[in-house]
């Protein structure tokens, strides 16, 4: 089964820049979660520079296949793992264009025999590029964690990563400050090599949770090279305690309110229609609580109780894909007069956490309608529930 169908929480671990220890954080919190009794999977989404298998001690033969054609993930320290490093030789570079990277990422989540997972961690490459956008669009992420060092340049770039996730409606679960001070093993003096407190400050500035500080520990490098995560090799160390605290914080509480993602609703026979969830006056304004069709209009019930009806023709005319709008100027290319009066919606599906895809009876199906766009559209206002 696809991980998105059987996973309670899907969490992206990201960073604005490389070299901040993001993969080390991912590997250790995954093992800490497994030690706490959770069923955990890790997707090493850094296709060009995979490192998770080495950190967890996964070496050897390429993964096996099930009779159904699913990839069997490797298991180490109680954690299931898939990575490009398991599909190629150690010194073979992944020379891939964007579409192939997207294909591999889809395979890593949808075509791996994960079984039922409590948590699936996605170890992203640094930056705010194609891989991050692909995952945000394709999968219903519970949220993202941003890893940074206290260094000013790292924090500035981390801020961009936070803003990118916010724009695609991926909840920010918090900030981790890695390499936060070095404790001398002899005199126990703490030296703040990369400054102090920057991660907590940026979390407060942006109004997100600060998940904790992970101190510098020389054993982290040795353990990673040996394939033995620090939480296993040095469980009593301050860094291991920090990893366990972060892991606990990420598995407490519920995901964002709203209808379950992903879904693909075929209107002709009603298959795939998402089940409604209760709305409340204090619910989030950017989450959907229900979808329906009434008299040729898409009825949207929002998590805060607001209800609106958007006519199928208005939705088709409002499409902002490259066929219907000029990419640079935003000028409308679609002539409203060419849209049939009786046009109807044929399919509605989720795009990550932040948008809906719509298909129409004229064959058009390339538009992505962000939830913010839908909420702002002038439809038939209905009485709030």
Q: What are the DSSP E strand ranges found in the chain?
A: 7-14, 40-44, 74-76, 79-83, 117-123, 143-148, 172-183, 190-191, 210-216, 264-266, 288-294, 297-302, 307-311, 345-351, 355-360, 367-370, 380-382
Q: Which overall architecture, per CATH, does domain 3-251 show? A: 3-Layer(aba) Sandwich (3.40)
Determine the pLDDT at residue 5: 55
Considering only CA atoms, which of 308, 329, 330 is closest in space to residue 319?
330
Q: What are the DSSP E strand ranges found in 88-209?
A: 117-123, 143-148, 172-183, 190-191
Q: Does domain 264-382 have CATH number 3.30.2020.30?
A: yes
Determine the pLDDT at residue 258: 73
Per-residue pLDDT reduced to its tens digit, 189-201: 667 776 666 677 7
Question: If you average pLDDT over residues 266-293, what whole number do you get?
Answer: 88
Per-residue pLDDT reduced to its tens digit, 122-180: 998 876 666 777 777 777 788 889 888 776 666 667 777 777 777 777 888 888 988 87
Helix (H, G, I), strand (E, B) or coil at 123: strand
Domain with CATH 3.30.2020.30 in the chain: 264-382
Helix (H, G, I), strand (E, B) or coil at 258: coil
Split at pLDDT 50, 70, 90, the class of 383 is low
How many helices and strands in the chain, by DSSP H and E? 12, 17
Distances 310 to 135, 240, 280, 324, 354 between C-alpha atoms, Å: 28, 52, 21, 18, 18
What is the chain's percent helix, strand, coil content, to nearest 5?
30, 25, 45
Determine the pLDDT at residue 352: 74
Task: Match 């920010």 to its residue by tokens.
Answer: 172
Residue 345 burial (C-beta neighbours within 10 Å; 0-12, 13-18, 19+): buried
Split at pLDDT 50, 70, 90, the class of 360 is very high
Strands 79-83 and 40-44: parallel
Q: What are the DSSP E strand ranges found in 93-149?
A: 117-123, 143-148
Strands 345-351 and 264-266: antiparallel
Determine the pLDDT at residue 301: 95
Domain with CATH 3.40.50.300 in the chain: 3-251
More confidently predicted of 352 and 141: 141
Determine the pLDDT at residue 63: 85
More confidently predicted of 275 and 20: 275
Split at pLDDT 50, 70, 90, the class of 271 is very high
Per-residue pLDDT reduced to its tens digit, 100-121: 777 878 888 888 999 989 999 9
- On whether the CB atoms of residues 136 and 102 are closer than 8 A, the answer is no
């Amino acid at each position: 089964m696809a991980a998105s169908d059987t996973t309670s929480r899907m969490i992206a671990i990201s960073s604005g820049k490389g070299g901040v220890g993001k993969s080390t954080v991912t590997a250790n919190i995954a093992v800490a979660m497994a030690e706490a009794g959770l069923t955990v999977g890790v997707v090493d989404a850094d296709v060009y520079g995979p490192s998770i298998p080495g950190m967890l001690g996964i070496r050897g033969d390429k993964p096996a296949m099930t009779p159904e054609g699913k990839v069997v993930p490797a298991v180490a320290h109680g954690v299931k793992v898939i990575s490009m490093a398991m599909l190629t030789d150690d010194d073979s570079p992944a020379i891939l264009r964007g579409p192939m990277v997207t294909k591999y990422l889809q395979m890593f989540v949808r075509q791996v025999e994960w079984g039922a997972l409590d948590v699936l961690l996605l170890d992203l490459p640094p930056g705010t590029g194609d891989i991050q956008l692909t995952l945000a669009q394709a999968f219903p992420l519970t949220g993202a964690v941003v890893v940074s060092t206290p260094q000013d340049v790292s924090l500035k770039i981390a801020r961009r990563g936070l803003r990118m996730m916010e724009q695609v409606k991926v909840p920010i679960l918090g900030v981790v400050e890695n390499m936060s001070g070095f404790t001398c093993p002899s005199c126990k003096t703490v030296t703040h090599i990369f400054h102090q407190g920057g991660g907590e400050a940026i979390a407060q500035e942006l109004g997100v949770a600060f998940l904790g500080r992970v101190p510098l520990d020389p054993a982290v490098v040795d353990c990673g090279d040996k394939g033995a995560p620090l939480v296993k090799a040095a469980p009593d160390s301050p860094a291991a305690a920090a990893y366990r605290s972060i892991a606990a914080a990420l598995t407490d509480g519920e995901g964002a309110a709203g209808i379950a993602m992903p879904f693909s609703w075929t209107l002709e026979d009603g298959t795939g229609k998402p089940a409604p969830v209760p709305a409340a006056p204090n619910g989030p304004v950017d989450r959907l609580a229900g979808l329906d069709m009434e008299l040729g209009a898409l009825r949207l019930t929002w998590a805060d109780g607001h209800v609106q009806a958007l006519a199928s023709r208005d939705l088709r005319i409002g499409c902002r894909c490259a066929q219907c709008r000029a990419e640079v100027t935003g000028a409308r290319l679609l002539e409203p007069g060419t849209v049939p009066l009786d046009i109807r919606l044929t399919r509605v599906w989720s795009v990550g956490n932040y948008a809906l895809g719509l298909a129409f009876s004229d064959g058009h199906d390339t538009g992505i309608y962000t939830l913010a766009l839908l909420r702002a559209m002038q439809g038939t206002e209905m009485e709030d529930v």
